């Protein structure tokens, strides 16, 4: 397993993956800049490039080989998350309906919270039924930032 630490607008981001694909993206709460990766491992170069494009606003989707580890149910939820369009949100209830079991809403929410590939598998696009920014493993401030970053109605300057 290869690892890289890069800077992102959300903080220092830890990437893990190998030839089977990207397995983890984590934003670190505490980190020392001197530990940033100087040379990105070859298997993570495309990940770094696509994330950079996303944060620059020039990428709205990812074409990466993914290898998240989880249960079959979690993987089913994570696959469904990838169908949520950039700049859009859905509720946990809507996601449960998409998966064919409205009664599984708590299990769907739990699987969403275990997503190891933040941003690439867009769990931040799932909100409460009332539109509220409910739980996010990376913290609500990061979820708010990601949703604002993807918002089609960004504030324009007047001059």
Cα distance between residue 45 and residue 57, in whole Å: 19
Residue with tokens 């220092």: 12
Q: Is residue 123 among the annotated active site residues?
A: yes
Cα distance between residue 146 and residue 123, in whole Å: 10
CB environment 93-121: b (16+ within 10 A), e (fewer) = ebbbebbeeeebbeebbebbeebbbbbbb
Cα distance between residue 39 and residue 3, in whole Å: 11
Distances in Å between the Cα of 46 and the Cα atoms of 15, 40, 51, 124 are 11, 10, 8, 22
Is the CB of residue 76 less than 8 Å from the CB of residue 115?
Answer: no
Among residues 123, 126, 127, 146, the one annotated as catalytic is 123
Cα distance between residue 147 and residue 117, in whole Å: 16
Hey, which residues are catalytic here? 123
């Amino acid at each position: 397993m290869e690892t890289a630490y890069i800077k992102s607008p959300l903080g220092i981001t830890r990437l893990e993956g190998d030839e089977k694909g990207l397995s983890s993206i984590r934003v670190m709460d505490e980190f020392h800049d001197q530990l940033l990766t100087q040379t990105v491992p070859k298997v993570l170069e495309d990940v770094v490039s696509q994330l950079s494009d996303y944060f620059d606003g020039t990428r709205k989707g990812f074409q990466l080989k993914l290898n998240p580890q989880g249960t079959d149910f979690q993987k089913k939820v994570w696959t469904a998350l990838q169908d949520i369009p950039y700049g859009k949100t859905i509720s946990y209830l809507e996601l449960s309906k998409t998966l064919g079991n409205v009664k599984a809403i708590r299990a769907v929410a739990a699987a969403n919270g275990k997503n190891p590939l933040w941003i690439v598998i867009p769990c931040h696009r799932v909100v409460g039924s009332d539109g509220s920014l409910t739980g996010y493993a990376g913290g609500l401030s990061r979820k708010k930032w990601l949703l604002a970053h993807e918002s089609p109605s960004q504030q324009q300057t007047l001059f």
